[in-house]
Structure 1
Amino acid sequence: MPPIQKILFGSPGTGKSYKIREIAQQELGIKLDEQTNSLENTITTIFHPEYTYSDFVGKLLPQTTGNGSVIYKFYEGHFLRALGLAYKKIIDGSDENVLLVIDELNRGNAAAIFGSIFQLLDREDDDWSSYRVNLSELEIVGIFRAMEYKAEADHQNIRIDGTDFDKFYKLTKDNLNNYKNNDGLRVLENLKNNCITIPPNLSIIATINTSDESIYYLDSAFKRRWDWEYVDAPHRDFIPEKIKNISVVIGDKQYEWYDLVIQLNYFIISNHQAIRRIEDKQIGWWFLKADDNNTITESAIRNKLMFYLWDSVFAKDKRPLEKLLSKKLITYTDFSSLYSDFVIKIIEFIPF
């Protein structure tokens, strides 16, 4: 199966994380560990404004020894860990896929975080990277460690499992030749030359939230190296079974959560003239989390849902909210105090 290099985008709460799990299992054959409820062979990271190339690839950090002296240790970043795991599968002759998941891709400076790794996103027909990228000796050692070898750099010479690299290289090459493992030979040769490429068994899936104004811009050169998939907002044609059991309780009244979600999205779409980037300003089934009684509380409606509408959806123009509630809204308190009326008005809203 071909690797996946895709960015998922859509409204908050539409289940982009669930979609990643679905893709991993159905398209990449990656299993779900029932005990940990997490995907096997998967490395996950979240970009943020302080996240750097060093976090993504690797960095030296000081470490205090038992006698009080300080030494520096190289820590592999999320990309090197995923790459090393993929290389190990190839060397071992396994057909298992590896997945690198990047949440909130555009909350960090993606171009700076990827750095030269950006070139590796171009892939050939055989699904290997079109180009190779040179790494430092320490980074190559980090990859070997991610491949579960005991690796170290000693006086400009790399040692693997206590063996000189040249000897390790010859023994491993002979073994790979015996098994006719050409992909493994390709990995080994690249590492010998301090080079890396992204192999066919390594997929990368990222999520972005374009409705968030406090984000970094993704340039067109970066965007075109990915497939894109829009995770659609909820609609009545498909309501998940879990969602059908969730209620919204306001005072002594109870409503269906799915009704509120669908009606609210109708209201948002009907007022698209007042909204920028309408595609991901709607809300998803999982925008609010139900409590143990399958209930969405008044507090969640007032403090999270209404604030999102006030601060993100209708941030530039409050007139649709004022028209709905028939009241002038100056402050957020004016709006949030009407949460009960708001829910009723939304449930009764007739799209036009």
Structure 2
Amino acid sequence: MADEIIASLVIDSTPKQLPVSPTQESQSSVLSDDDSLMQEVSAVLGMGSSGIIFRGCPGTGKTWYAWQVALKLTDNDPSRIVRVQFHSSMGYEDFVEGYKPTQNSKSGFEVVPKTFLQTVELANGTDKPVVFIIDEINRGDPSRVFGELLTYIEDGWRGVQFTTPFRGEPVSIPRNLILLATMNQHDRSITQLDMAMLRRFDHIDIYPSSDLTNQFLIDAGMVATDASKITEWFEQMQQLLPFGMGHTYFLNVGDNGRLAQVWRYRILPFCESVLEFEPDKLGHVSQSFKALERRLSGQQESDD
């Protein structure tokens, strides 16, 4: 049914659609059919995908893109989109089925379906696509959270009944339930995303974009010549930082004062984190920003 939900298109790894704001929630997708990311999603779903993980460094808009793709797949119907965020303490009883207090049981508890099984019921009640988004999927322990679902979310096991361990009821994962997830490659809990999970999901990388950086700066009021200098520095940073840094750091950066604030309170702490054991490289990053500030102020670049 995956190829009936959405047709396969040509893959292009660089998003063409320039969003108004990757932090802005919307009820209607801004992605067009020929957007390169949608083309990749379409092609992967057409292969019979069990799920898709959007990977990228912080600031590339992964969560925003996941929401936009979900809206596109559901024809802009948020009632068919469910979102959760994984964390280290999340378990099977939070995600699939677990106990809740009740007055109708001698024990004072009853087993109820949790978010994922509730979404399965939603998908079973319609022929239309239903999208389940897992933000920060690598922050959870997949074996603990998914349990037997690790098998039954696979494309080849969709529609096959299995019995849940707590309620003892038959369940099957429908093919119209589409799994999307996001993953921050810088997150140190990435080691928890084991091979059992990795092989069940397809992976689409969302890269830092110079075009988006420049557009955000111009839209915020930065003069074109300064925006060009900042964008050039942004491109250099991709070589200095493991996995690079994202373009959304430059949202609403319309002048040099705002840029200095974003550097001090957002970009620099991020660089200090990812370059914790590379002080020489961190020093180089700091010097490169000072050089950028001198260029923006019109000072000579002889010592850059």
TM-score (norm 2): 0.69
1:72–1:255 CA distance, 2 compared to 1 (3 A): farther
Partner of 2:108, secondary structure, is: strand
Judged with a 3 Å threshold, the aligned counterparts in structure 2 of structure 1 residues 101 and 225 are, in CA distance, closer, same or farther, namely same
Structure 2 Cα separation of the partners of residues 219 and 15 of structure 1: 24
Offset of residue 266 of structure 1: 1.6
Question: Which secondary structure state, in structure 2, belongs to the residue aligned with residue 225 of structure 1?
Answer: coil
TM-aligned CA deviation for residue 305 of structure 1: 1.0
SS at match of 1:228: strand
Task: Tell me what 1:59 maps to.
Answer: 98
Of 157, 160, 164, the match for 1:135: 164
Identity within the alignment, %: 21
Q: Which has the higher contact order (CA 8 A, sep 6+)?
A: 1
C-alpha deviation, 1:343, in angstroms: 4.5
SS of equivalent to 2:67 = helix
Deviation for aligned residue 1:40: 2.9
Whole-angstrom CA distance in 2 between matches of 1:266 and 1:292: 20
Determine which structure has the larger strand proportion and give its number: 1
When residues 320 and 231 of structure 1 are mapped into structure 2, their CA distance, relative to the original with a 3 A threshold, is: same
| Distance in 2, Cα, partners of 1:345 & 1:241 | 22
Match of 1:315 in 2: 276
What is the CA distance between 1:62 and its match in structure 2? Answer: 2.3
1:122 aligned residue (154, 158, 174): 154
Matched, 1:47 2:86: yes
How far, CA to CA, are the matches of 1:240 and 1:40 in structure 2? 35
Q: Distance in 1 between matches of 2:183 and 2:237?
A: 24
Q: Are 1:224 and 2:199 matched, yes or no? A: yes
Cα distance in 2 for partners of 1:220, 1:346 equals: 47
1:18 to 42, 54, 64: 64
Which digits, 9 at most, give the CA deviation of each residue in 1:265-315, with x for residues without a partner? 42341x4xxx5xx3x3x222223653899x846433212211101111x22
Conserved in 1, the CA contact under 8 Å of 2:140 and 2:192? Answer: no
Structure 1 match to 2:248: 286
TM-score normalized by structure 1? 0.60
In 2, Cα distance between equivalents of 1:292 and 1:325? 21
Deviation of residue 321 (structure 1)?
A: 3.7
Q: How has the CA–CA distance of structure 1 residues 323 and 102 changed in structure 2, closer, same or farther, with 3 Å as cutoff?
A: closer
1:49 alignment partner, SS class? coil
Q: 1:101 aligns with which of 96, 109, 133?
A: 133
Unmatched segments (≥5 aa) in structure 1? 34-38, 90-94, 140-193, 327-337
Paired amino acid for 2:121? G
Give CA deviations for 1:236-258 in whole Å, capped at 9, x if unaligned: 4x668555312579xxxx953x7
State the distance in 2 between where 1:42 and 1:32 align: 9
Summarize deviations over 1:82-105 as a string: whole Å, max 9, x none: 10100111xxxxx32111100000
For 1:319 and 1:60, locate their aligned partners in 2 and report how far apart those are by CA, in whole Å: 52
For structure 2, the 5+ residue unaligned runs are 3-44
1:31 to 71, 75, 90: 75
Tell me the residue number matched to 1:344: 293
Question: Taking structure 1 as reference, are residues 346 and 75 closer, same or farther at Cα in structure 2, changes over 3 Å only?
Answer: farther
Does residue 304 in structure 1 map to residue 304 in structure 2? Answer: no
Does residue 72 (structure 1) correspond to residue 109 (structure 2)? The answer is yes
- 1:7/1:71 CA distance change after superposition, 3 Å: same
Deviation at 1:133, TM superposition (A): 2.2
Q: Does 1:112 find its partner at 2:165?
A: no
Offset of 1:20 from its aligned partner?
Answer: 1.5
Asked whether the equivalents of residues 324 and 345 of structure 1 are also in contact (C-alpha less than 8 Å), the reply is no
Q: What CA distance in whole angstroms lies between the structure 2 residues aligned with 1:10 and 1:224?
A: 18
Bigger share in helix: 2
Shift of 1:136: 4.6
In structure 1, what residue type is equivalent to 2:59? Answer: G
Superposition CA RMSD, Å: 3.6
Change (3 A) 1:62 1:98: same
